[in-house]
Amino acid sequence: MRLEGVELRHISMPLVAPFRTSFGTQTVRELVLLRVVTDEGEGWGECVAMPDPLYSSEYVEGCMDVLRRFLIPALAAAGPLDAHAVAGTLLPFKGHRMAKAALEMGVLDAELRAAGRSFGQELGATRDRVPCGVSVGIMDSVPALLDAVGGYLDEGYVRIKLKIEPGWDVEPVRAVRERFGDEVLLQVDANTAYTLADAEHLARLDPFDLLLIEQPLEEEDVLGHADLAKLIGTPVCLDESITSAQSAVAAIRLGACAIVNIKPGRVGGYLEAVRIHDACVEAGVAVWCGGMLETGLGRAANVALAALPGFTLPGDTSGSGRYYRADVTDPFVLDDGHLTVPTGPGLGVAPLPDALAEVTTATEWVPV
């Protein structure tokens, strides 16, 4: 299979409701999609970076720059395409994992479509559907939060994740427990908003029997998470800090996390995501599939990944309608709290031309 070029498609999709985290508020999801064109057909990659480097150092325009300037030319120069060789080919370029992940995803999709194999088969999915959680943003008031959580529970979501930050943590958690009971699977995500000096405060979450607290401290503070884990009862889960299988193994050995959030974009691709899964299974550490407000393309691949046996906790693999009024693919719709793993070749879904055109703000052809 030979690379003929890559189309970078900048898209902008309104969210059904503002999504507020400790690092900012999104009202629109702007991202770049990659159409990887080969002599044997095409494949789609989704770059999960956001427009501003607030979640991590990557951002949309930076990803587009590194793709067109370095990553795509290096891949073209490496000879015949092989999805399993993409990461190695791109290894000389430091960082830029979301950009690399998007390119690898597009190549893998093209390869699997041509071979008639699905992402689920390729990654090692062992289930045909996955239970779904939902990530609930910071709200203006506790009543507004309870309305939102109640709505998601009515839709069938099997796990609730509350975004937290200083000033919005113990009270919203207490309110959700009081209203919806102790049976609800509940966890929180701080997106690095705390410091180790907040340990005593975070221990006030202990009575609420949370599944986990996700990334309370800054990305590079792995030892801080190990210290914090000894001071609070809630299990610590890492998101931002885990950028590879190597960093996952190190964090686990240091006692910095008891659970790992796996996001393929953050770790350089779906194949590295599988290696993290394998390492965590080996270490007896539970994993779950994170999300980055993906379109139906990234969602299809995430659902396939979440069907691997080590994904024992529900992921942020919500239905399309939690994010978008109109997805770029046929929508993913919850069935009894679950999403079905696509079985068609490659991602098993493709952009609907009209829906894609509707949200496309710029298209750039990168020849090779």
Residues annotated as part of the active site: 163, 263
CB atoms near residue 224 (< 10 Å): 18
CB atoms near residue 56 (< 10 Å): 22
**Closer residue to ligand OSB in complex, CB, 55/168:** 55
Sole window of 68-76, 194-202, 221-229, 286-294 interacting with ligand OSB (rule: CB under 6 A): 286-294
Q: Which does 318 bind (CB under 5 to 8 A by kind): ligand OSB, Mg ion, none?
A: ligand OSB
- Residue sitting closest to ligand OSB (CB): 291
* 55 touching ligand OSB, by CB under 6 A: yes
Question: What H or E segment, with its residue span, contains residue 347?
Answer: none
CA–CA dist 234, 105 (Å, integer):
34
CA–CA dist 333, 322 (Å, integer):
10
Sign of the Cα torsion 186, 59, 7, 357 reads: positive
Q: Which residue in the set 135, 241, 295, 320 belongs to the binding site for ligand OSB (CB under 6 A)?
A: 135
Considering only residues 228 through 247, tell me which ones interact with ligand OSB, judged by CB under 6 A: 239
Considering only residues 201 through 230, tell me which ones interact with Mg ion, judged by CB under 5 A: 214
Q: Which residue in the set 138, 193, 293, 300 belongs to the binding site for ligand OSB (CB under 6 A)?
A: 293
Q: Which residue in the set 46, 109, 122, 189 belongs to the binding site for Mg ion (CB under 5 A)?
A: 189
Contact 71, 90 (CB under 8 A): yes
Residue environment code for 243-280, b if the CB has 16+ CB neighbours within 10 A, otherwise e: bbbebbbebbeeebbbbbbbbbbbbbbbbbbbbbbebb
Q: Shortest Cβ distance from residue 37 to ligand OSB (Å)?
A: 28
* 318 touching ligand OSB, by CB under 6 A: yes
CA–CA dist 139, 20 (Å, integer):
7
**Closer residue to ligand OSB in complex, CB, 42/316:** 316
**Closer residue to ligand OSB in complex, CB, 50/232:** 50
- Would you give the binding string for ligand OSB spanning residues 74-113, x where CB under 6 A is met? ----------------------------------------
Q: Which does 320 bind (CB under 5 to 8 A by kind): ligand OSB, Mg ion, none?
A: none
Among 324, 333, 293, CA closest to 155: 333
* 22 touching ligand OSB, by CB under 6 A: no
Contact 234, 212 (CB under 8 A): yes
Q: Which residue in the set 46, 198, 221, 239 belongs to the binding site for Mg ion (CB under 5 A)?
A: 239
Opening angle at CA 272, ends 270 and 278, nearest 5: 105
Q: Which residues in this chain contact Mg ion in the complex, by CB under 5 A?
A: 189, 214, 239
Q: Which residues in this chain contact ligand OSB in the complex, by CB under 6 A?
A: 55, 135, 189, 191, 239, 290-293, 316, 318
